[in-house]
Structure 1
Amino acid sequence: MTTTDASNRQSTGGSKYTGPIIDTDVHETFTKWTDLVPYLKEPWRGLITNGAWQGTGNPHVHWAANGVNRGDSQPADGAPAGSNYELLREQILETYPITHAILTGQFMPAVMPMQFEFATALANAYNNFVSDHWLARDTRLRASIQLAPQDPQAAAREIDRLGPDPRFVQILLPIGQWSYGDPFYNPIFEAAARHNLVVAFHHTGAVESALGKGRYYIEWHINVPQGAMATLTSLVVNGIFDKFPTLRFCILESGYSWLPHLLWRMDQNYRSLHLEIPWVKQLPSKYILERVKFSTQPTEDTSVENWLRLHDMLGTDKLLVFATDYPHWDFDSPEESVPRALPADLRRKIFYDNAQELFGFQD
């Protein structure tokens, strides 16, 4: 395989893209846990104010040697990266021609392994915080509805509460803990369908490889796509695409170069073993190619020829949507992540058209 670094990819010709951009994965956050207190009722409020709860204490996260954020994304006051609107505006919204940025958060109460009612309360509080402190400040921002899928009925109520608000354009479900094809989660999909919301999936530290939990952060980071593959397989074989024919899906921050292999393998096994899943009415690849999109980040460093070869193998130019993953260390800038030598119409689709279709933006 011919590989190049990002600068070499850009030197292969073509002009700088100057059209509109939709960024589908921006990780905003709060400054401290007490920011959520005004949005919580007792007894959940007291768990934070009296110091009984110190955060999710996520046991899944590896230690990353240099942290997980860009060095320049740390606000001067020491607040967490992604918590300062002015800095985010400067580094993303004003640096690139972004028409919409989809907020995906850095706090996922869905990873909490217990106290589901508290997880639900935190998700609801965080959604209110985002509405007041982020969406109210910039019309270019759109948000994800954070949920606690541990309690699907409560998650559905939260979707019904916020679904009518056009600033919330998708629900966000974590990859790594739950097999969403299980009918247990159907209330979540039913509510998303009622409000015509995109169903987005994003990896968490809970993603494991086929060998379990790796010893190092780099192992987890390399193996993230395995979680996305398992999630798509669960959705297909359990009939989610047939049960909810209007739903649209997006896989965030899990790459995409693995997709041809997964589609070929799914179709091959479907042809041989479809009697086991008679409720699946079409080839798995048809569902995915028509109704699932994939964020570009993290974009592998590869040649223009391999970019085009991948699109040829997939047979469509409508799958990819651009994402920066701000403020994380593997941030993809529009100037480096999508090669200038790609055809202009393909770059326009990746940067803008595909996401506009996914979310139904009327720009």
Structure 2
Amino acid sequence: MTTSQASPEQRETNRTETVPIIDTDVHERFASIQELLPYMKEPFLSYMEHWTGWGELKYIHPIGGSKLDSLLPNGNVPGSDLGVLQEQLMDKYDIHKAMLTGLFYPATMEAQFELAAALASAYNDWMVEHWLDKDERFLGSIHVAPQIPELAVREIERMADHPRMVQVLLPIGTAAYGDPFYHGIYEAAERKGLVVAMHQGNSVRSPFGQPRYYIEWHTILSQAFMASVVNLIVNGVFDKYPGTRIAMLEGGFSWVPSLMWRMDQNYKSLRLEVPWVKRLPSEYVKEHFRFATQPIEDPDPMHMLKMVELMDSDELLMFSTDYPHWDFDSPLRSLPTSFSKELKRKIFYENAAKFYGLT
């Protein structure tokens, strides 16, 4: 078959087959909370006899929360079967490395913070045994309970020496992580050479509270990412810990240029309020932040290229699929056709490899 006769997917494959891919957001899951019990100790092990889940139900996904081919015949949740994930993602798209970010976030618990820390620790041990030890292409995220920062630091120090733990995971929700209350986490991550990954969580709300509809909630998620960027910068995290690196996951990126402009404008007028911030906020963004691509909006491809140009850097974006979620971004189709081969290579591989220090 000639190129002119090839299907769109085959033509796209021809353009990307020589580009290695680092997927910065893959959601591994357990089939049941029972899988964590072997990694828990008393008194928290006894708590789990009464586990009823996270409690309040927020949304029933109107079209299902996962891509249809990830649904498992045995009824287990998508992302919980190692072999299926390897087949559908790692092997199908020849993923070089995948950052495992889970879908179990004790960091968002609103009470019993010691239990949250125990759950995070158990999840880390479970993830190492059932995922990292099974496939060298997987890279891990250290789950912590930031509600008690000293316990989060202890967990970072416990797990950081694993050769494929590359980041600390902090779900974005209602916590203002730039607050000095959390600064010990950045000190520990910097000291251990780890990225801090911030991923959207179910506790995200709009300025009006809990949105009435899922479509409303999903649309305004970028507001939480914008607020987090500003909060980290103005609270002096990067002046205090200059080696801090922040990966923003599952928040998109089209909002980044306008936020940099707005921060810089306000800083020029109001910097006396935050004298510890020594540079324009946009400079902190370019040096300390990277943004995973998913979910990519789908406007005119030239508009998306212009959006990257407006960032004034081709190093801020890292590719992610968000497997196995319903809005999965395929490596074959998701990057706009207006992106050059060189830009795609940076997004697919080089930016993440450099940011995470991968060889």
**TM-score, length-normalised on structure 1?**
0.94
In the alignment, is residue 56 of structure 1 matched against residue 54 of structure 2? yes
State the partner residue of 1:114: 111
- The answer to whether the 8 Å contact 1:9/1:302 transfers is no
Displacement of 1:54: 1.5
In the alignment, is residue 279 of structure 1 matched against residue 276 of structure 2? yes
State the partner residue of 1:21: 21
For 1:95 and 1:297, locate their aligned partners in 2 and report how far apart those are by CA, in whole Å.
19
Which of the residues 177, 186, 191 maps onto 1:189?
186
State the partner residue of 2:259: 262
For 2:286 and 2:177, locate their aligned partners in 1 and report how far apart those are by CA, in whole Å.
19
For 2:75 and 2:35, locate their aligned partners in 1 and report how far apart those are by CA, in whole Å.
16
Which of the residues 66, 74, 90 maps onto 1:93?
90
Aligned amino acid, residue 80 of structure 1:
V
Aligned amino acid, residue 216 of structure 1:
Y
Tell me, what secondary structure is at the counterpart of 1:45? Answer: helix
In the alignment, is residue 150 of structure 1 matched against residue 157 of structure 2? no
Tell me, what secondary structure is at the counterpart of 1:334? Answer: coil
For 2:10 and 2:196, locate their aligned partners in 1 and report how far apart those are by CA, in whole Å.
33
In the alignment, is residue 290 of structure 1 matched against residue 287 of structure 2? yes
State the partner residue of 1:3: none
For 1:173 and 1:181, locate their aligned partners in 2 and report how far apart those are by CA, in whole Å.
12
How big is the alpha-carbon RMSD for the aligned residues of Structure 1 and Structure 2? Answer: 1.8
% of aligned pairs identical? 49
- Residue deviations 1:159-191, cap 9 Å, x none? 000111121100000111210111100111111
For 1:338 and 1:9, locate their aligned partners in 2 and report how far apart those are by CA, in whole Å.
13
- Residue deviations 1:233-288, cap 9 Å, x none? 11011000111101111100001101111100000000000000000000000000
In the alignment, is residue 253 of structure 1 matched against residue 231 of structure 2? no
In the alignment, is residue 131 of structure 1 matched against residue 128 of structure 2? yes
Aligned amino acid, residue 147 of structure 1:
V
Displacement of 1:302: 2.0
TM-aligned CA distance change 1:38 to 1:10, over 3 Å:
same
For 2:36 and 2:16, locate their aligned partners in 1 and report how far apart those are by CA, in whole Å.
42
For 2:10 and 2:264, locate their aligned partners in 1 and report how far apart those are by CA, in whole Å.
35
TM-aligned CA distance change 1:58 to 1:100, over 3 Å:
farther
For 2:56 and 2:96, locate their aligned partners in 1 and report how far apart those are by CA, in whole Å.
34
Unaligned 5+ segments in structure 1 are 1-6
**TM-score, length-normalised on structure 2?**
0.95
Displacement of 1:18: 3.1
Number of residues paired by the alignment?
353
TM-aligned CA distance change 1:74 to 1:9, over 3 Å:
closer
Tell me, what secondary structure is at the counterpart of 1:171? Answer: strand
- The answer to whether the 8 Å contact 2:302/2:338 transfers is no
